[in-house]
């Protein structure tokens, strides 16, 4: 779930309640970012965020804020909301059980890319009825903190678990072509639309990585918005958003 996916606390609570209902027959892992909140707190401390191609270039000073906001405030706030609705949740980051390790995208940066996944702690929690809530922060091999894009973390965890599905909940309704949502995309459609300019910009790597996840055993990837109870079921079925298969 991206930091802007839930437009309000009420919407987030509806999402959690729907997850609880669907979770009676399925198992879920909830991955979250929170870039907007990190930016807000960084500016309070006089730090100006730097972005390149939509990716935050996290500094050493800002990494402390990322830990505080993502691993601390946001992760525990989510655990509280889930737990208060009868869903036993456990908050994690990549360093817990060495769930996932990363390496910096460039020298001196505290923004990382996932290089290793060890899903044992997730399997253990899922087998015992817990819902893991994972913040997208981890470490490098020397123990330094790293901030990782939440979409990338969710993708790598889904591949490692051979998940039946991966949902990207964001502030966009799906993959757009000329302003309209593409309901279903397979490898052939993606190749044609990327070459022809139907799929553009930052959606190209997301579609390509989603197709790779499907090729690696993930059942499907869904991309879309969450506004009200029922949207999660609609995204899973393909009645809403874009379904990549």
What are the structural domains of the chain?
1-161 (3.40.1160.10), 164-245 (no CATH)
- Among 38, 37, 15, which residue's Cα sits nearest to residue 28? 15
Decide: 30 and 78 in contact? Cβ < 8 Å. yes
pTM of the model: 0.92
Q: What is the pLDDT of residue 7?
A: 56
pLDDT at position 1 = 64
Asked if 170 and 235 count as a contact pair (C-beta separation under 8 A), the reply is: no
3-state secondary structure of 134: strand
Specify the DSSP class assigned to residue 96: G
- Residue ranges of the chain whose pLDDT lies below 70: 1-7
Do 215 and 207 touch, CB atoms closer than 8 A? no
Q: What is the pLDDT, as a whole number, of residue 6? A: 55
Q: Which two tokens stand for residue 205?
A: 């790597």
Residue 2 confidence (pLDDT)? 58
The answer to whether the CB of 31 falls within 8 A of the CB of 154 is yes
> In whole angstroms, what is the distance from residue 227 CA to residue 187 CA?
29
What is the token pair recorded at 229? 């109870």
């Amino acid at each position: 779930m991206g930091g802007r996916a839930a437009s309000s606390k009420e919407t987030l609570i509806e999402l959690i309640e729907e997850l609880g209902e669907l979770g009676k027959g399925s198992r879920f892992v909830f991955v979250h970012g929170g870039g907007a909140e990190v930016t807000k707190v960084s500016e309070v401390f006089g730090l100006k965020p730097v972005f390149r191609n939509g990716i935050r270039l996290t500094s050493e000073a800002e990494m402390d804020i990322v830990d505080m906001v993502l691993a601390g405030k946001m992760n525990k706030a989510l655990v509280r909301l889930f737990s208060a609705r009868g869903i036993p949740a456990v908050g994690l980051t990549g360093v817990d059980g060495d769930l996932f390790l990363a390496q910096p995208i460039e020298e001196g940066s505290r923004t990382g890319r996932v290089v290793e996944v060890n899903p044992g702690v997730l399997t253990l929690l899922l087998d015992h009825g817990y819902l893991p809530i994972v913040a997208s922060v981890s470490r490098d091999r020397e123990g330094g903190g790293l901030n990782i894009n939440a979409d990338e973390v969710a993708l790598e965890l889904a591949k490692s678990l051979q998940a039946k599905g991966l949902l990207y909940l964001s502030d966009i309704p799906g993959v757009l072509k000329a302003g309209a949502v593409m309901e279903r995309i397979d490898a052939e459609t993606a190749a044609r639309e990327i070459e022809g300019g139907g799929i553009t910009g930052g959606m190209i790597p997301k579609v390509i990585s989603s197709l790779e996840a499907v090729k690696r055993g993930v059942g499907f990837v869904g991309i879309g918005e969450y506004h009200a109870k029922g949207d999660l079921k609609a995204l899973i079925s393909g009645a809403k958003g874009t379904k990549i298969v």
